[in-house]
């Protein structure tokens, strides 16, 4: 570095000495950016990682009783949000699947421990698809894809996954940030490999943004700066960026009234385009909306642990996952040791209990993610000694631009149809003028080994045979879809190739898509 500058200076002096004209062009040395380093003690690093995981579990249980009970409306003030003694253990014992946004993360943590930091999208996808847990929305569609040979990243692409913009990776990305302290671009690269297993576009951005907030939470104590810095990882042309930016702008206009911000957001951005279950309905599991609710909790909560969770919960919709994310980020900023004591007895009661479907408890997760964080720091130019960790701090860079369902507006064609599946009803036909369609529904059959074969033809030409099952691990709730049709009149015929007595396909909702503009 010093030799390079000296050489530049000598060249410039020599040039000026030999120049006889009055107009002299001064040679400039290129400015070489100096790497920015941060040092944190190992004890502080562990304290923040522990805070991130403990905060998630507290927030998840705090909002758990209200999950999707309030769709398109705020949870009213008179609805008490409770946190009694034994609250976390109650869910561990009685409803352990509440913690799906924790044990889903831990699937990917286990893959990284087994395969190393360079684990591939296929490694993550195969592990996730073959677990015993039930899945929903983008995760469910991704599992369906993988089990039927559509591998990552195609398993999360919007042409293959009707739920590509849903919240799924947003609630599963905490691990990527917690193992990448101060390194948002490193976290984004991990999220590229994992997040595209089940999401694309704005659905992926929800996870990139969440992971980046965690990376900043290790060194930044100002919540607004954490949010604004993390948002730099998102392309400015995306809807996700524009909507979160608007939340920040509304907060700056009035940092005291979260309900005003909530109302403005829902008046402008409450539509969902992809999810066949919730489009044109009060429910919304889109990552843009639920990330906005996380941000509202963080900003308007003003670093108060209870207020942060309460606001993120009272925003409604996915009201266990959103306070979980908000509390996890805030507790990473403050550290485990600074979580208010009121919340801690319930945490300590469960720290040695393994999460369902995993071999990891909170205590073993703390250590596992700390170990991954040390490996990640060293792999990216950092260093450690007996007591400290030195990290090459990154300036966040935007990930690539992606857009799901471009220029598409859903129109509901029909709902609650007895679709097909019995020997008397093997075929159904509908028409529309548009550029794509999707049918939401389900298969019921006493024989869980039965796999229906639904042949779909468009304008007389077969396009795909969709397989489905009543077995929870192989089913999908979008019976069939086709999004990349030319805008024109179309006739769709669906034909069951292998009807079975007792089996029934029910179409809950049928949609087609018109151009948005």
307-340 pLDDT, tens digit per residue, is 999 999 999 998 999 999 999 999 999 999 999 9
Tell me the per-residue pLDDT of 433-453, one tens digit each, with 9 for 90 and over.
Answer: 999 999 998 898 999 899 999
Residue with the two structure tokens 């206009």: 253
Q: CA 300, CA 76: separation in Å to the nearest integer?
A: 17
Average pLDDT of the residues in 406-414: 92
- Whether residue 73 sits in one domain with residue 22: no
Assign 220 to helix, strand or coil: coil
Token pair for 330:
């805030």
Confidence of residue 32 (pLDDT cuts 50, 70, 90): very low
Residue 376 lies in a domain: yes
User: Does residue 400 sit within a domain?
Assistant: no
Provide the 8-state DSSP code for 478.
E
Looking at the fold, whether 129 and 88 belong to one and the same domain comes out as yes
Q: Are residues 182 and 46 in the same domain?
A: yes
**Domain assignment present for 210:** yes
Residues 93 and 138 in one domain: yes
Number of domains in the chain: 3
Instruction: Indicate if 272 and 157 belong to the same structural domain.
Output: yes
**63 in Cβ contact with 79 (< 8 Å):** no
Q: Do 345 and 220 reside in the same domain of the chain? A: yes
d(CA 217, CA 331): 9
Phi, psi angles (nearest 5°) of residue 143: -60, -45
Residue 293 CB partners (closer than 8 Å, separation 6+): 262, 312, 315, 316, 317, 318, 322
Return d(Cα 504, Cα 483) in angstroms, integer.
25
pLDDT band at 414 (very low <50, low <70, confident <90, very high): confident
Domain boundary among 367, 393, 419: 393
470-493 mean pLDDT: 93
Helix (H) or strand (E) holding 39: strand 36-41
- Specify if 398 maps to a domain: no
Same domain, 437 and 324: no
Task: State whether 250 and 167 are in the same domain.
Answer: yes
Q: Are 368 and 502 within one domain?
A: no
Q: Is residue 402 part of a domain?
A: no
Reading the block at residue 284, the tokens are 């919304």
Instruction: Give a yes or no: residue 399 inside a domain.
Output: no
Domain boundary among 335, 361, 393: 393
Q: Is residue 127 part of a domain?
A: yes
Same domain, 112 and 151: yes
pLDDT in tens, 170-209: 999 999 999 999 999 999 999 999 999 999 999 999 999 9
Same domain assignment for residues 274 and 216: yes
| pLDDT of amino acid 194 | 98
Taking the alpha carbons at both ends of the chain, their separation in whole angstroms is 54
**Owning domain of residue 241:** 38-393
Q: Which of 358, 393, 428 is the last residue of a domain?
A: 393
Q: Is residue 212 part of a domain?
A: yes
User: If you average pLDDT over every residue of the chain, what do you get?
Assistant: 91
Q: Supply φ then ψ for residue 236, to 5 degrees.
A: -65, -25
What is the pTM for the complete model shown?
0.92
Indicate which CATH number applies to the domain containing 484: 2.60.120.260
User: Is 275 found in the same domain as 157?
Assistant: yes
CATH, residue 283: 1.10.4080.10
Beta carbons of 169 and 204 less than 8 angstroms apart? yes
Half-sphere exposure of 406 (CA within 13 A, CB side): 10
């Amino acid at each position: 570095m010093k030799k390079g500058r000296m050489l530049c200076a000598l060249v410039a002096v020599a040039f000026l000495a030999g120049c006889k004209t009055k107009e002299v062009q001064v040679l400039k040395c290129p400015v070489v950016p100096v790497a920015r380093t941060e040092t944190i003690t190992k004890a502080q690093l562990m304290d923040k990682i522990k805070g991130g995981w403990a905060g998630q579990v507290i927030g998840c249980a705090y909002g758990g009783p209200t999950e999707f009970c309030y769709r398109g409306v705020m949870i009213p003030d008179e609805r008490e949000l409770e946190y009694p003694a034994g609250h976390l253990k109650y869910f561990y014992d009685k409803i352990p699947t509440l913690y799906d946004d924790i044990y889903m993360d831990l699937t990917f943590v286990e893959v990284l421990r087994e395969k190393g930091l360079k684990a591939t999208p296929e490694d993550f996808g195969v592990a996730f698809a073959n677990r015993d847990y039930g899945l929903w929305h983008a995760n469910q569609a991704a599992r369906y894809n993988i089990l039927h040979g559509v591998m990552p990243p195609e398993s999360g692409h919007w042409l293959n996954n009707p739920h590509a913009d849903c919240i799924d990776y947003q609630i599963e990305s905490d691990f990527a940030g917690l193992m990448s302290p101060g390194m948002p671009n490193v976290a984004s690269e991990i999220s590229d490999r994992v997040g595209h297993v089940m999401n694309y576009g704005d659905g992926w951005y929800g996870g990139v943004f969440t992971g980046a907030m965690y990376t900043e939470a290790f060194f930044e104590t100002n919540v607004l700066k954490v949010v604004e810095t993390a948002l730099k990882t998102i392309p400015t042309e995306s809807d996700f960026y524009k909507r979160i930016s608007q939340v920040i702008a509304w907060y700056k206009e009035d940092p005291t009234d979260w309900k005003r911000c909530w109302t403005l957001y829902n008046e402008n951005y409450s539509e969902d385009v992809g999810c066949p279950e919730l489009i044109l309905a009060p429910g919304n599991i889109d990552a843009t909306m639920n990330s906005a609710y996380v941000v509202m909790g963080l900003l308007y909560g003003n670093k108060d642990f209870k207020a942060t969770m309460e606001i993120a919960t009272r925003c409604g919709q996915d009201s266990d996952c959103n306070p979980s994310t908000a509390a996890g980020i805030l507790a990473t900023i403050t550290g485990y040791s600074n979580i208010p004591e009121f919340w801690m007895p319930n945490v300590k009661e469960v720290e040695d209990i393994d999460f369902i479907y995993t071999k990891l408890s909170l205590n073993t997760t703390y250590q596992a993610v700390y170990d991954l964080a040390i490996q990640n720091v060293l792999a990216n130019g950092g260093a450690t000694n007996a007591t400290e960790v030195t990290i090459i701090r990154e300036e966040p860079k935007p990930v690539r631009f992606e857009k799901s369902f471009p220029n598409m507006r859903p129109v509901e064609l029909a709902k609650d149809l007895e679709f097909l599946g019995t020997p008397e009803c093997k075929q159904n036909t509908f028409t529309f003028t548009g550029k794509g369609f999707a049918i939401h529904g389900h298969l019921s059959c006493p024989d869980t080994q039965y796999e229906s074969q639904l042949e779909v033809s468009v304008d007389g030409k077969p396009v795909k045979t969709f397989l489905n099952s009543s077995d929870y691990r192989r089913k999908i709730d979008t019976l069939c879809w086709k999004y990349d049709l030319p805008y024109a009149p179309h006739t769709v015929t669906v034909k069951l190739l292998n009807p079975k007595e007792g089996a029934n396909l029910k179409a809950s909702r049928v949609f087609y898509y018109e151009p948005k503009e």
